[in-house]
Structure 1
Amino acid sequence: MAQWKINLAVLWLGQFLVLAGMTMIIPFLSLYLQQDFGLTDEQEIATWAGVIFAGNFVTSFLFQPLWGKLADRHGRKIMLLRSGFGMAVVMVLMGFAQAPWQLLALRMLNGTISGFNPAAVSLVSATTPKDRMGFAMGLVQSGAIAGTIMGPFIGGLLADWVGFRPIFYITGTLLFLASLLAMFLVKENFDRTKAAAVPQISVWAGFKEISHIPQLTALFAVTLLIQFAMMSPMPLIPLYVQRLHGTTENLAFWAGFVGSVTGLSNMIASPLLGRLSDRQGAELVLGVSLVGAGLMFIPQAFVSEVWQLLVVRFALGIFLGGLIPSVNALIRKHTPDGMESRAYSFNSSTLSLGNVVGPIGGGVASGFIGIEGVFLVAAVLFFLNAVWVKMVVFRPAERRKPDSG
């Protein structure tokens, strides 16, 4: 098997385990706080659960660019292993937490040392043949989506079988094994001498340099918008499903099904649309996917049955599956040599920001315009972003004029 395919397979598994580990606590976090930490007030439990879950993404948003800078200087693989082994240890420590603030501190530490996702994407982009870039980006993205989907499901099953604390030990062990696989099987051709010769600039200076490339700022906005649009209705889905379903019978099942069906179709579509972008161009797939996703948000505001919502959200996931692989391929295309990891880290930071502000923004907006309004606002944002992408990303890159001297 070609080395780039080995890298892709191992990093797919790593992406799956990392994202599953981050989301596995969703089904039992409130119960964990209640039964193992002794909290009894529902408002207190809800507050702690929200803060603990968001804490991981807040610190991830802040620290991803630093790890990206170090990856450009010292190599992507070393940053991948740093993140993988570090998160394995922190995950195990979460099982020993004795107070909510300790669990929050460990979740924030986990976000601080994270960086597996941008390192994996950057490594894949650096080792994959250019004519297979879209397919590779789509496949590695499907690993992340699969982990996001299966994490809560696996967490719920394990909570019933082994209890809450052993889940952290199991997840930490799996992350450690995935990191070992990456250490021995993933190969990277990284010229440290060449990287050391590149003038070093601060994270902020690097951000300013990258932000002057209009294509990259538009692509970062796409990533933020995707995550915001996916996460903003999530806390409201159970209430919306209850209204459509008209009864509490099997409500948890239908709410979970509606919440995960988008990720399921996203996971299936990502490699296929990535392969299509290799043939037709990532710009075309990105533009069509943005418009298609915007269109799929509109009927969600007008459905009258749960099955209709399921169908529309499944179709939404297909279009969302064309976005992240296209964005990652285009980031590689427009990023200056030697700054690839930093660009992917900034993109990962915007994704983490979307994870934080999405549920908050959706919850606040629904108080004024209802959940139907949240869907319609998301549609408008996608259409506006499609126009911006058409004006910026589709614009031919400016060629440098040769030196006159």
Structure 2
Amino acid sequence: MEQWKKNLAVLWVGQFLVMAGMTMIIPFLSLYLQTDLGLSDPHETATWAGIIFAGNFVTSFLFQPLWGKLSDRYGRKMMLLRSGFGMAIVMVLMGFAQNPWHLLLLRMVNGTISGFNPASVSLISATTPKERMGFAMGTLQSGGIAGTILGPFIGGLLADAIGFRPIFYVTGLLLFLASLLAMFVVKESFDRTKAAAKPNVSIIQGFASLSRIPQLKSLFAVTFLIQFAMIGPMPLMPLYVQELHGTAVNLAFWSGLVGSAAGLSNMVSSPLLGRLSDRIGQERILLVSLIGSALLFIPQAMAGSVWQLLVLRFLQGVFLGGLIPSVNALIRKHTPDGMESRSFSFNSSTLSLGNMIGPIVGGVISGWIGIEGVFITSAVLFVLNALWVNRTLLAHRKQRQG
């Protein structure tokens, strides 16, 4: 097997385990706070659960650019292993938390040392042949999506089988094994002497330099808006399912099924659309995916049953699978040599920012014009995104070809 394929296979497993570890706590976080960490008031428990879950994204947003800078200077594999082994230790420590503050601080530390995702993307982009870039990015994305979907399901099963605290120990062990596998199998050709000879540009200077490239500035904004529009409706989905389904039995089952439908089709379509983008161009796949996703948001606001919502979410997931992999491949295309990791880390920060702000604004919009209005707002944002992509990326591609 070619080395780039070995790298891709190992990092797919790593992406799966990292994202599963991040989302595994969703089904039992509130229960863990009540049974093991001493909270009893429902309102206090809900507040702490929200703060603890968001804490990871806050510090991740702030520290990703630093790790990107160090990755360009000392190598992507080193940053990958730093993040993997570090998160394994922090995950185990979460199982020893004695109060909500301990868990919050550990989640924030986890976000601070995180960076497995951008380091993986950067390493794959540097070791994969350019003609296979779309396929590699799509396949890597499918690993993260699979972990995001199956994480809560696995967490729920383990919570019933072994209790809450042992889940953190099991997750930490799996992260450690994935990092160990990456240490021995993943390889990159990185010249530290050459990297050290380059000017030591600060994080702010690096961002200013990359922002002067109009295509990158557009791609960073596209990532933020994609994540903002996708995540905004997610916390409201159980309420919407309840509105459509009534108070009948199996409400939690239907909420979970609707929530994972888009992820399932996304996981399958990402490698396929990535392979297609290698033939017809990532810009075109990105534009079509944005328009398709926007069009499928609108009927979701008008769904008359849970089955309709389920089918629409599944179809939308097909288009969502073409978004982030196309963005990552285009970032690599437009980033100057030697700044790839920094560029991917800035993009990861904008993604974390979308994760933070999307649910907050979605909740405000829902209170103002209803849950249906959140879907319409997301559709509008995707259309604006498509217009921006057409103007900055497709126009540039045509000029270059012309």
Band the TM-score falls in, shorter-chain normalisation: over 0.9
Alignment length, in residue pairs? Answer: 400
Alignment match, 1:68: 68
Q: Is the 8 A contact 1:91 1:171 kept in 2?
A: yes
Give the aligned partner of residue 216 of structure 1: 216
Question: Does residue 333 in structure 1 map to residue 357 in structure 2?
Answer: no
- Rounded to whole Å, the distance in 2 between the matches of 1:338 and 1:398 is 26
Quote how far apart the aligned CAs of 1:246 are.
1.9
Counterpart Cα distance in 1 of 2:217 and 2:22: 27
Percent identity reads: 76
1:297-312 equivalence runs, <5 A = 297-312=297-312
Residue equivalent to 1:403? none
Which runs of structure 2 are paired with 1:2-401 in the superposition (5 Å)?
2-396=2-396
Tell me, in whole angstroms, the C-alpha distance in 2 between the residues paired with 1:156 and 1:347: 31
Q: Deviations over 1:304-358 (max 9, x none)?
A: 0100000111111111100111000000000011000000001111111111111
Residue 226 of structure 1 contacts residue 320 of structure 1 at CA under 8 Å; is this kept in 2?
no
**How far off is 1:225 after superposition?**
1.8
Q: Which 4+ stretches in 1 moved above 6 angstroms?
A: 397-400
Give the secondary structure class of the aligned counterpart of 1:393. Answer: helix
| RMSD of Structure 2 on Structure 1 (CA) | 1.2
CA contact (8 A) 2:237 2:259 kept: yes
1:190 & 1:215 partners in 2: Cα distance? 26
Counterpart Cα distance in 2 of 1:235 and 1:396 = 37
Structure 1, unaligned runs of 5 or more = 401-405
**2:233–2:359 CA contact under 8 A, matched in 1:** yes
The alpha carbon displacement at 1:248 in A equals: 3.2
Deviation of residue 159 (structure 1)? 0.3
Distance 2:325 2:235 in 1: 26
Query: Which 5+ residue runs of structure 2 have no aligned equivalent?
Result: none
Decide whether the 8 Å contact of 1:68 with 1:344 is kept in 2. yes
Is contact 1:261-1:310 (8 Å) kept?
yes
Residues 38 and 99 of structure 2 are in contact (CA less than 8 Å); yes or no, is this contact kept in structure 1? Answer: no
Q: 1:343-399 CA deviation, whole Å, 9 max, x = no partner?
A: 000111111111111111111110001110000000000001110111111233799
8 A Cα contact 1:20 1:147, kept in partner: yes
Secondary structure, counterpart of 1:247 in structure 2: coil
Amino acid at match of 1:161: A
- In structure 2, what is the Cα distance between the partners aligned to 1:37 and 1:159? 15
TM-score (norm 2): 0.98
Which letter does structure 2 place at the counterpart of 1:252?
A
Distance 1:275 1:398, change over 3 A: closer
The offset of 1:247, in angstroms, is 2.4
1:218 deviates by 1.2
Question: Once the 2 structures are TM-superposed, how far is the Cα of residue 195 of structure 1 from its aligned partner?
Answer: 0.8
3-state SS, counterpart of residue 70 of structure 1: helix
> 1:222 & 1:105 partners in 2: Cα distance?
31
Q: What amino acid is the match of 2:231?
A: M
CA–CA distance in structure 2, aligned partners of residues 110 and 136 of structure 1: 27
* Distance (Å, rounded) in 2 between the aligned partners of 1:210 and 1:200: 15
The amino acid across from 1:247 in the alignment is: T
